[in-house]
Chain A
Amino acid sequence: MAFWARQISRRCLSVKTSNVANSIQQLRKSHRTWIQLHELSVLSLLRTDNQFFQRGLKTYQSVSLGSRLQSTNSSNGQIVSSESNLLSPVNHYQQQAEIIPSSDTETLYEVWEDTPPLSALEEISEEEAVQIVAEPPLPLGSFTLRDYVDRSETLSKLVLLGVDLSKVEKRPHAGQLLLRLDFEKDIRKRLLFLKDVGVEDHQLGPFLTQNPYILAVDMEALETRVAYLKSKKFGKEAVAQMVSRAPFLLSFSVERLDNRLGFFQKELGLSVQKTRDLVVRLPRLLTGSLEPIKENWQVCQVELGFRRNEIQQIVSKIPKILTANKRKLTETFDYLHNVMGIPHHILTNFPQVFNSKLLRVKERHMFLTFLGRAQYDPAQPSYISLDKLVSMPDEVFCTEIAKASVKDFEKFLKTL
């Protein structure tokens, strides 16, 4: 199918050559088969219809031998454009089929009857022979981008940039979007824009893997959104950090971003500077849904019993609590407060404990209780601070805090 695409696109650009008759003949044949194709529904998986391919091969051979090819560069350009339009061929060719009948059909019909079809045994020049490209046909529809990556300039350049196509193709409609785009026209502008905003070269690949849809966003919209962020007095490095850590940020409209920033300021009651710091540290807050954040806020206030200023302090230190799992948060708090006996004000000072896994906290606490060293009150001697309990790796924890060997810790774990 790609051959027809290539040859026919060449035909349309070279209407003024003497082989117009051939072009019309081929177009007619292809138009007939395209109508049949349309009925078969183009986006289905590859069909092994022998009749189909035989017809395809016949047309190909007759097309290639009589072809008057343009220079290599333009043919390559045509290859790219034809492949990028591969998944919407019906519209493309219906348009082209309409072009020819509108122009001087009568004279062309007369010419048509005179010239006989080209035979496969006709001799061609060396140059023409060298320019024949014999590659297997591209599948009409596929579930993976692997089939198209070698022939498509856009996809090859994206892979060399570091975009993980195996992940991108799993996202809804992302593969089709990438195939339709042209690197020079669409993608280059947006990549340069992202570089201006401050995203580093090595981050561009992972960025596009997470959010390939940004390549379809209008340039003006992107510029407006960055201008809005700068108007809210986010510095250049801050904007760069936010954009690179939350790839979906610039896909959000200005109203939505405004809404989110307003929510954080009102609900959490933080000052403007603190909201800015919070959002720069965890830009994911602006891109996610607000419902879980509202619920977590309620949980902290009502179920866990923290006061408003305590929650503000915790959130400024560990913004991740707002997006944490409700159930895990409550279970961790329950163990810390009721079993370990740690009061609220110490938990406010060390909110890192909510970040860690409950199992880890349990194991370490039980080991310390077994050794008789479970002392979390700063007023009393041999006090163990919560952040050291949680954040250190096992070896450091065993030697410095528990004052025991790693083997003893492992033996103890096997008794739990």
Chain B
Amino acid sequence: MAAGRAARTGLSGLFAVYKPPGVASIRVRDTVETLLLKELNSLEQPAVQQQVRFLPTTVEGNAGKELTLTVTQLPVLAAHPLVRGPEFTHLKIGAGHRLDTKSSGVFVLGVGHGNKLLTDMYNAHLTRAYTVRGLFGKATDDFSDTGRLIEKTTFDHVTRDKLEQILAVIQGTNHKALLMYSNIDLKTQEAYELAVEGLIRPMEKTPPLITAIRCLQFAPPEFQLEIQCLHETPQYLRKIVHEIGLELKSTAVCTQVRRIRDGFFTLDSALLRTHWNLQNIQNSIQDSKIKVKVGLQRSLSCQARSGKRHTDMDQVAESKLHSTEGTSASDLTHKMR
């Protein structure tokens, strides 16, 4: 009886699953919930509740047959599992930064009290890492290889050097935007301390920013990039691939977007579909507890400090913000040109 309840209360924290491509992330969350509920319900082995009843029976007494009450223990059928239904019907499982249907990769889920940690992770504004595969020579309407074809081009003139040049430019402009949105004057002591601790990054909602981008493989027409970014969506990454194609005076579509790191969770800790069961999830939660705690504490202290300087830098920052309001990092690229 206690086994299921103990498991349910112990199940609280964050864990990562590997979302396969072609499946909606909500379905992944629902599948995990159903599997966990099935296991929890099978753990429960309740003894059927007994009730003491006094039933009238005939007993051989002094003067012939007599009616007396005898004590019997009968099961209470209202507490029988076939009448009451399964013990657990709902688990609170929340999803972290979602992936769309075509993309795959590390997908963080929170269960029980871990859902609060999900909010903390969101407010910590951590970076994520993706591997993006692209294909030269085509352009489609939704920037991926399954969309409607718009144009075809040649790509013989594209070399690895040109690609890396473009990537360097993108990284540079995004870095400038990053510093601007973080509202830090680089000449202060505060900025130095923040830089020593970790990445200087904006602690509020901003347009998507790329912190690092490099080319992993180049075998025309295919190429693979690794992108570290903030506040992005998978569709934004596909747009980046499309724009890289345009910059190289050719066209490109994105064939795969795969998340390899989400904050503290990497590919190693992500659970595959075949491993989605209670034991593995409990182990995963246990392993990631310390990492998450330390990481969140660090970013919260960063935030506290940035909150302080935000009030000082308000007036200086506002004029800068107004001038670049409504532009994304990619538009900045064109401005720089």
- Where the two chains meet, the residues of A that have a C-beta atom closer than 8 Å to any C-beta of B are 72, 126-127, 130-131, 145-147, 149-150, 155-156, 159, 162-167, 358-359, 362-363, 394, 410, 413-416
Contacts and interface: CB of A to CB of B under 8 A. Distances in A.
Contact of B21 (A150, A159, A416): A416
Interface string B1-44: 00000000000000000101111000000000000000000000
Given A150-B78, A362-B22, A130 B83 contact: no
B78 A166 contact: no
A146 B78 contact: yes
Given A159-B83, A166-B85, A416-B21, A131 B76 contact: no
Interface of B: 18, 20-23, 56, 66-69, 76-78, 80, 82-86, 104, 258, 267, 270, 272-274
B83 A166 contact: yes
**Interface-centre pick from B18, B77, B104, B274 (highest chain A CB count, 10 A):** B77
A166 B56 contact: no
Nearest to B131: A415
A149 B84 CA distance: 11
Contacts of A163: 82
Main secondary structure of the interface of B (DSSP, over half): mixed
Contacts of B104: 416
Contact of B18 (A149, A166, A362, A414): A414
A363 B80 CA distance: 43
A388 B160 CA distance: 43
Given A149-B80, A414-B18, 4 more contacts: A146-B78, A159-B82, A362-B22, A413-B20
Contact of A149 (B66, B77, B258, B274): B77
A413 to B, nearest CB: 6
A159 B20 contact: no
15 contacts: A126-B67, A127-B66, A127-B67, A130-B56, A131-B67, A149-B83, A156-B77, A159-B83, A162-B82, A166-B83, A166-B86, A358-B22, A394-B274, A410-B274, A413-B272
Contacts of B274: 394, 410
A109 B85 CA distance: 53
Contacts of A156: 77
Contact of A150 (B67, B77, B85, B270): B77
A68 to B, nearest CB: 14
Contacts of B273: 413
Contacts of A410: 272, 274
A147 to B, nearest CB: 7
A363 B273 CA distance: 12
Contact of B69 (A130, A159, A162, A165): A130
A359 B22 contact: yes
B219 to A, nearest CB: 16
